[in-house]
Amino acid sequence: MRILVAGGTGVLGRVAVRGLLQAGHEVTVVARSAERETAIRAAGATPARVDIFDADAVRSAAGGHQVVANLATHIPKASRMAIPSAWKDNDRIRTEASANLAHAALAAGAERFIQESITFIYADAGSEWITETSPLEATANLASALRAEANAVRVAESGAKGIVLRFAQFYGPDSHTTLDTITFAKRRIAGGFGKDTFVSSVTTDDAGAAVVAALRAPSGIYNVADDEPVTRKEYAEILAKAIGTKPPIIPPRRMARLAGGRAAALARSQRVSNRRFRDATGWTPKTASVREGWPAVVAAVTGP
C-alpha cells in the first residue's frame, strides 16, 4: 500500500516508517526541511515537502495514498511541561493539522486514517484495569488529543477506516523525554505522586510496531501499552537500579492537589489494558514491562 505519514521523522515516526518499509509498503513522509528530506530518502522512504497546516497542500500530498497516518506531535521538554504556552504547537498539530490530514484522507479516497493519541487522558482507576471505555479526564494540556481522536471518528463515520492509537508513556534511547527521565532519576527526582499508583508504558519499538499492526485493525480506539503495568514505587526502583542510584522519595498523592495543574495527572493511577488491540490485530509487545525495558534502554543510552 501507499502510505502518507505525518510525523515520520519523530521518535515514534522513525520506528513506524522503518516497520512499514520492512513490511513492503511504499511510504511517503512529510518533511519540513532539506535536512529531513535527506534523512527520509536515506531511510528508504519518499519525502514530501508539505506544511501540515496548509489544507490544500496536504490534500494534494495525500492523493494516491491508501493510508494517511498522523503521528505528528510537539511534546515540550520536561523542564517546560508545566508552562501552558509550551503546549501551543502540540495543540495546533492535534487540532488543525489532524483535521487537515483527516479531510485529505477522505478527499483522496484513502482506505484508512490512523491518528496517534495518549492514555494520559484516562481518569484515575486505582488498581482496576483501564479499557477503551473507561472514563476520561483530560487536563488542559491534553484536551487537544480528544479533538484529534474526533477526526479519526469522523473518517470512520464517512465509511473509511478510522483508527485511534492511545499510546501509554513510551520510552526509548533516542527520546528526549526518556533522557530527561534518566537525568531526573540520577538526581533522585520522582516522576509522579503516590507509591501505589500504577504506571503504564510502552517502548518506542513496540509503539512503532503497533502503527504497522493498525493497518489490519477495524475502525475504533485502541490502547497501546505493555503487558505488565507496575506501581510507581516499583517503576522508580527499576529505573534507579538500572542507572545505579538510589530511588527517589515519592511524594504522597495529596501533594499533587497542592501543586495543581498538570501535577494532578501525575498522581493518577493508570493500569492500562492492551487486550482489545492484541485481539484485533495480533500485535504483542516484545517488551512485556519496564522490568526488562528500562535496563535495556539505559544500557543503550549510557553504553557498557
pLDDT the model gives residue 87: 58
* pLDDT the model gives residue 89: 75
pLDDT at 166 exceeding the cut of 80: yes
Q: How far apart are CA 16 and CA 283, in angstroms?
A: 14
**Is pLDDT of 45 > 60?**
yes
Q: What is the chain's mean pLDDT, rounded? A: 91
Q: Mean pLDDT, to the nearest integer, of 178-183?
A: 92
Sign, CA torsion 238/242/243/246: positive
User: Above 70 in pLDDT, residue 260?
Assistant: no
Task: Write out pLDDT tens, residues 86-138.
Answer: 556 768 888 999 999 999 999 999 999 999 999 999 999 999 999 999 999 98
User: Which of 231, 160, 225, 164 is CA-nearest to residue 192?
Assistant: 231
Rounded to 10°, the helix 55-62/98-107 angle is: 40
Q: How many CB atoms lie within 10 A of CB 162?
A: 26
> Which residue ranges make up each domain of the chain?
2-302
**C-alpha cell of 12?**
515514534
* Cβ-Cβ contacts under 8 Å for 152 (sequence gap 6 or more): 102, 113, 114, 115, 162, 163, 164
Q: Assess if CATH 3.40.50.720 describes domain 2-302.
A: yes
Report the pLDDT value the prediction gives residue 267, as an integer from 0 to 100. 86
Classify residue 214 by its DSSP letter: G
Please report which confidence band the pLDDT of residue 262 belongs to, taking 50, 70 and 90 as the band edges. Answer: low
| Predicted TM-score (pTM) of this structure | 0.94
Q: What is the pLDDT of residues 199-211, one digit of tens each?
A: 999 999 999 999 9
Q: Which pLDDT belongs to residue 302?
A: 83
pLDDT(254) > 90: no
